[in-house]
Chain A
């Protein structure tokens, strides 16, 4: 059985899902792709928007979540950290 995801794992899942969709995604798609309930997703999104890692934009009457430059840099740091964790056996 897979272990429970940490907060960092969930944030990484959210940001990498947005990156995989070309940098923007609809909230419903994000919810399904990152395996979160609506309430959980809203909590994380509010946190990510506050930390300027993602932004909410409106396009053609739809709301989209876009990843910011800071979000891209954060993901790069997370990947580096995961590589360190894997190599050092932490």
Chain B
């Protein structure tokens, strides 16, 4: 059985807004990086942009799934002693399942792309094997969300590690914000590990993710500003 609703009732819809903000910020960074690829024809920018777009698309898929689920749940009405309940059609059920499947697969592969970019030197066989395991995890984690968030935590953690080392090398103030923002995003996923015990952890995780994305946006704006000044 797949559990798809982690949010408490009072938070319905608010998580969609948070995800929408994430989509905008990630797409902005992805679009800018794509511009740099057109300028330099350096494939690392294309790879970077693709990873960010994949993560943004994953949130769009999650938003679609949540929108459908919340609309179905709100379709239950009580009139006197009678309760009218909307029965989920097969089409709706398929839409919801595929939305959350695409959410998991795109988010995992988006972060995997960033991990590969920051940890070069893998041979093709290693990349294929790792990609296969991520694919398997996507399907296994329909019932085991814990494993999904743990895998993401590992990938984000490795990216943070590289960014922190880069921060020491460059000694740039704006570069310091980047590992911090990614660390906060990782912290959001730590909260998601506990949503099985209390729904409030979902709320905390979403809010922490929002802070992380705003910090990422701030870092991005500062980097562009500094680039224009030099």
Does any Cβ of B come within 8 Å of A3's Cβ?
Answer: no
Q: Contacts A88-B48, A89-B166, A90-B48 given: A83-B41 contact, CB under 8 Å?
A: no
Contact between A89 and B48, CB atoms less than 8 A apart: no
**A66-78 Cβ-contact flags toward B at 8 Å (1 or 0):** 0000000010111
The residue on A at minimum CB distance from B172 is: A87
Does any Cβ of B come within 8 Å of A21's Cβ?
Answer: no
**Of B42, B45, B118, B226, which contacts A89 at CB under 8 A?**
B118
Contact between A84 and B39, CB atoms less than 8 A apart: no
Does any Cβ of B come within 8 Å of A36's Cβ?
Answer: no
Contact between B39 and A77, CB atoms less than 8 A apart: yes
Q: Contacts A86-B175, A87-B178, A89-B118 given: A6-B224 contact, CB under 8 Å?
A: no
How many residues of chain A get a CB closer than 8 Å to chain B's CBs? 18
Does any Cβ of B come within 8 Å of A8's Cβ?
Answer: yes
Does any Cβ of A come within 8 Å of B163's Cβ?
Answer: yes
Does any Cβ of B come within 8 Å of A7's Cβ?
Answer: yes
Contact between B41 and A7, CB atoms less than 8 A apart: yes
Contact between B178 and A84, CB atoms less than 8 A apart: no
Closest Cβ of chain B to A3, distance in Å, is: 13
How many residues of chain B get a CB closer than 8 Å to chain A's CBs? 29
Beta-carbon contacts under 8 Å, B198-230 to A: 219, 223-224, 226-228, 230
Contact between A89 and B230, CB atoms less than 8 A apart: no
Which residues of B have CB within 8 Å of A82? 227
Closest Cβ of chain A to B120, distance in Å, is: 11
The residue on B at minimum CB distance from A86 is: B170
Give Cα distance in the complex from A76 to B227, angstroms. Answer: 8
Does any Cβ of B come within 8 Å of A33's Cβ?
Answer: no
**A49-88 Cβ-contact flags toward B at 8 Å (1 or 0):** 0000000000000000000000000101111111110111
Closest Cβ of chain A to B217, distance in Å, is: 14
The residue on A at minimum CB distance from B169 is: A89
Does any Cβ of A come within 8 Å of B71's Cβ?
Answer: no
Q: Contacts A89-B162, A89-B163, A89-B166 given: A83-B39 contact, CB under 8 Å?
A: no
The residue on B at minimum CB distance from A82 is: B227
The residue on B at minimum CB distance from A12 is: B40
Q: Contacts A87-B170, A88-B178 given: A81-B223 contact, CB under 8 Å?
A: no
Does any Cβ of A come within 8 Å of B174's Cβ?
Answer: yes
Contacts from B to A (Cβ < 8 Å): 32-33, 36, 39-42, 44-45, 48, 117-118, 162-163, 165-167, 170, 172, 174-175, 178, 219, 223-224, 226-228, 230
